[in-house]
Chains A and B, each alone.
Chain A
């Protein structure tokens, strides 16, 4: 079936370094993707989204890149901070009614 998946379950970076979290998807017709951040004990929090007619979108310290040729997207976090430690999910719509989530990447920021 259609899926959205992340490449690595865990990622550890040094404070101040840049982080890159990757995600692959299988549905070529997907027209919208979202990155969520989930901290312990909380629900997923919207970070940034991108539509399929874009290759790149930037927010505050975050950039999402979309490569439709290889069905891959990535989340880049600049100057990673301890508060960025969380589980990150990519998600894409399926059947217009639900969002399909990857398994998540746990980002740990070392001081």
Chain B
């Protein structure tokens, strides 16, 4: 079985641009969560979606948004990119909304 897949693996954007990151959960998993991991730190929670509804939002500005599709895949959008948005963005899926998270390998975003 495929694990959590994220695309792209790397990308470089310019300040002020917008970016869309994609995540496909493990088959049968209905929950997708997004995390930001800045170099040298632990992952920070951004969003959780379960059954296509937002279940939780971390302390991130409104420039960050996400959605979950009927097939449970998800997109994370970040508008008006700042240098400080440079990070590894991780997607995790779970069969429930609480436990059993499996992480993907992440998308490395560099803002220049």
The answer, among A42, A94, A97, for a CB contact under 8 Å with B105, is A42
Nearest chain A CB to B19 CB, angstrom units: 19
| Any B CB within 8 A of the CB of A99 | yes
Q: Which residues of B contact A93 (CB under 8 A)?
A: 98-99
Q: Which residue of A lies closest to B9 (CB)?
A: A41
Q: Which residue of A lies closest to B108 (CB)?
A: A41
Nearest chain B CB to A104 CB, angstrom units: 5
Main secondary structure of the interface of B (DSSP, over half): loop
Q: Which residues of B contact A45 (CB under 8 A)?
A: 103
| Any A CB within 8 A of the CB of B8 | no
Counting chain B CB atoms within 10 Å of each CB, the highest count among A45, A95, A98 belongs to A98
- Give the docked Cα–Cα distance between A102 and B37 (Å): 12
Q: Which residues of B contact A99 (CB under 8 A)?
A: 33, 43, 45, 101
A98 pairs with B42, CB closer than 8 A: no
- Give the docked Cα–Cα distance between A56 and B43 (Å): 25
Chain B contact residues, CB within 8 Å of chain A: 4, 33, 40-45, 48, 55-56, 58, 90, 92, 97-99, 101-106
* Extra pairs beyond A34-B101, A97-B55, A104-B41 (17, CB < 8 Å): A32-B99, A36-B103, A43-B103, A43-B105, A46-B102, A89-B42, A89-B43, A91-B42, A93-B99, A96-B97, A96-B98, A97-B56, A98-B58, A99-B45, A101-B42, A101-B43, A104-B42
Chain A contact residues, CB within 8 Å of chain B: 32, 34, 36, 41-46, 49, 89, 91, 93-104
